[in-house]
Structure 1
Amino acid sequence: MGKRIIVTPFLKVSGMALYPFILISHQALLADAVLINHERIHLRQQAELLVIPFYILYLLNYLINLAIYRNHQKAYLNIVFEREAYARETNLNYLKSRKWYNWIMYF
């Protein structure tokens, strides 16, 4: 998995999953197992939705949430994909037992 993690100093967030890569903003974040797990959950979500539909659903969910909450942070935190990733990021074994399309439970 290490070969698929790329340090990108210009990144404005700590981490981001762009299938099949994880981008992180600082070398030190390679040691942040929770962040890496969070992004690995997103990679799994992206793979099960065949990548492009994931990004479409992610954006649509964000825009709907933005209309509801009128707040970027609340809209972002309530994206179903983020809700799953944040809820399970500390369980480093989560992906071993995660069922396909489990993000649907976070609607």
Structure 2
Amino acid sequence: MLDAHYAAQARVGGKDVEIVVSESGWPSDKGQEATVGNAGTYYRNLINHVRGTAGTPLKRGRSIETYLFAMFDENTKPGDPSERHFGVFSPKKESKYGLSFN
């Protein structure tokens, strides 16, 4: 998806504009395939992919600036129950996955 956007951006004169992935995450409860194990795997794989310098086919040799959604589970958030379970920390500030950014 990132390269598709880079390609479209280049066609309108924005080939040097960097893209930042501002939200990426996986719910850990209350949805199909929403488990702590699946969410932890998603976050670890995402971190390993974006922190490296492999980049994408169009932008090789670059890390991808990415922000995880979200810092904490939002146990009082309205709407779909899975939306309350995207945090990498619980509402009690406990790490859910033991992620490493080093």
TM (norm. structure 1) is 0.30
More helix per residue: 1
Max radius of gyration: which structure?
Answer: 2
